[in-house]
Amino acid sequence: MRLELGYINIKDVQFGNATKVDKGVLYINKEELLKTVAGDDSRYAKLDVELAKPGEEIRITPVKDVIEPRVKVEGPGGVFPGFISKVDTVGSGRTHVLRGAAVVTTGKIVGFQEGLIDMTGPGAEFTPFSKTCNVVVVCEPVEGLEPHQHEEIVRMAGLRAAAYLGEAAKEVSPDEVKVYETKPLLEQVQEYESLPKVAYVYMLQSQGLLHDTYVYGVDAKQIIPTIIYPTEVMDGAIVSGNCVSACDKNTTYHHLNSPIIHDLYEKHGKEINFVGVIITNENVYLADKERSSNMSAKLAAMMGVDGVIISEEGFGNPDTDLIMNCKKIEAEGIKTVIVTDEYAGRDGASQSLADADPKADAVVTAGNANEIIKLPPIKKVIGHLDYVDVIAGGFSGSLKEDGSIEAEIQIITGSTNELGFSKLSATNL
């Protein structure tokens, strides 16, 4: 598959009479956006849109998802297939991207594992979304809505908003066009026969109870591991629907811009032959973990790869899936590198993963999520601040009377992202 991504750089976002992009500014007709977001769904008690820009004294919480506005310009399919567009295979043709803009969804808490984004101050250093021009959709449900329905309407609000804003880029000439291509497996292997063949094992959060990720609109806990083109991921085939810990949750924005996929493409044809992606789920029951890890190892062997990178989403229970994948793929004679984060206690002295194995001897870490941070009070809060004590990373007394916060960096959206979309890591000394 060959995908062209046309990047249109957004340096500012403002409300205006019409939704358009002009000289790097995204103008938004607020009334039209709200109408599009609401659709014909009667489960919204309140919808509003606010803007949050880099450097402003704004705190957004609790954050559900972050989505990058995009539009399909040429080729099959459309944005977010299975939700916004019909279920056509994406990953080829041309897609325009509003680079530097993001849709952030917030409102009353859905699950306790949600987070915050500070647009300035020490917290801003730990999240990539303090650097984006954010269109914040505040979504409040009608009374009596079940948590899974609440999550659904917030998810759809964000996807509709991103698709609506993406349309503004359809006729705009991109500032940069980048081309990504992965050929059918046998062709791809033959093209760079002398280079080591590398695949990416992409673990998707799918433990249920607000821990869900969607592939072409299907909950990933219902799938078995399968091979997809990297460009499908880059073109919106995977959508977040989970409320796991904010620090290592893969938002939809993360999926669209996975550093692992982008970095593998950068080395493709030079140092490695990047032959494809294996998507697999993270399960609750042992039998399901065994089944999925068995199949991931089998697919890696069938592809004939020399090495794989495995990334995790979440921590604790998924650590078992991570180590199972590592052990079984290594048993096939394939070298592995695992990407994770750590929960090593506030002093960094505790066991950092819930599972381990000698085969997991090549590890990239995104940092210790238990590390404590102090966030000063901030002028404006979009959303609800009173949940800080109960969301993951917070504790009784985290929210101070003056509006300041003392909590683990686990509370910050994207702070220890396990795709490497963050600033933290560690090294052996």
Give pLDDT tens digits for 12-41.
999 999 999 999 999 999 999 999 999 999
Best CA proximity match to 151, nearest among 103, 205, 212: 212
Q: Specify if 299 maps to a domain.
A: yes
| Parent domain of 201 | 2-411
> Do residues 385 and 306 touch, judged by C-beta distance below 8 A?
no
Total domains in the chain come to: 1
Q: Is 273 within the bounds of a domain?
A: yes
DSSP one-letter code for 354? S
Of 133, 139, 243, 326, catalytic: 243
What is the per-residue burial (b if ≥16 Cβ within 10 Å, else e) of 381-418? bbbebebbeebbbbeeebbeeeeebbbbbbbbbbbbbb
pLDDT, tens digit, 9 for 90 and up, residues 121-157:
999 999 999 999 999 999 999 999 999 999 999 999 9
CA–CA distance, 330 with 283 (Å, rounded to integer): 21
Burial-class residue 23 by CB neighbours within 10 Å (0-12, 13-18, 19+). exposed
Residue 418 lies in a domain: no
Query: Within 13 Å, how many C-alpha atoms sit on residue 316's CB side?
Result: 8
| 184-219 pLDDT, tens digit each | 999 999 999 999 999 999 999 999 888 999 999 999
> Do the domain assignments include residue 169?
yes
Q: Tell how strand 70-74 and strand 93-99 pair up.
A: antiparallel
Nearest to 420 by CA among 287, 248, 269: 248
Taking residues 247-267, report their average pLDDT: 97
What residues contact residue 266 under an 8 Å CB cut-off, 6+ apart?
A: none
- pLDDT tens per residue across span 293-351: 999 999 999 999 999 999 999 999 999 999 999 999 999 999 999 999 999 999 888 88
Query: Taking all residues of the chain, what is their mean pLDDT, rounded to a whole number?
Result: 95
Span 33-62, pLDDT tens digits: 999 999 999 999 999 999 999 999 999 999
Query: Would 422 be classed as within a structural domain?
Result: no
Looking up tokens 């998924």 gives 318
Q: Which of 164-173, 203-212, 279-288, 368-377 bottoms out in mean pLDDT, i.e. has the lowest?
A: 203-212
Residue 428 reports pLDDT greater than 90: no
**Alpha carbon separation from 358 to 54, 332, 336, 337, 355 (Å, rounded):** 43, 15, 12, 13, 11
What token pair was written down for 231? 């460009």
Residue 111 belongs to some domain of the structure: yes
- Res. 249 pLDDT band, cuts 50 70 90: very high
Q: What is the pTM of this model?
A: 0.96
How would you label 285-298 residue by residue, b for 16+ Cβ within 10 Å and e otherwise?
Answer: eeebbeebbebbbe
Share of residues in the chain with pLDDT > 70 (%) = 99
Decide if 416 is inside a domain.
Answer: no
User: Can you give the pLDDT at residue 318?
Assistant: 93
Rounded average pLDDT over 386-404: 93
Please, where are the H alpha helices in 309-387? Answer: 317-331
CA distance 165 to 162: 5
- Asked if pLDDT for residue 98 goes beyond 80, the answer is yes
Residue 243 catalytic? Answer: yes
- Up-side HSE of residue 312: CA atoms within 13 Å toward CB? 32
Residue 429 has pLDDT above 70, yes or no: no
In a domain, residue 259? The reply is: yes
Can you read off the two tokens belonging to residue 212? Answer: 């869900």
Residue-level pLDDT at 281: 97
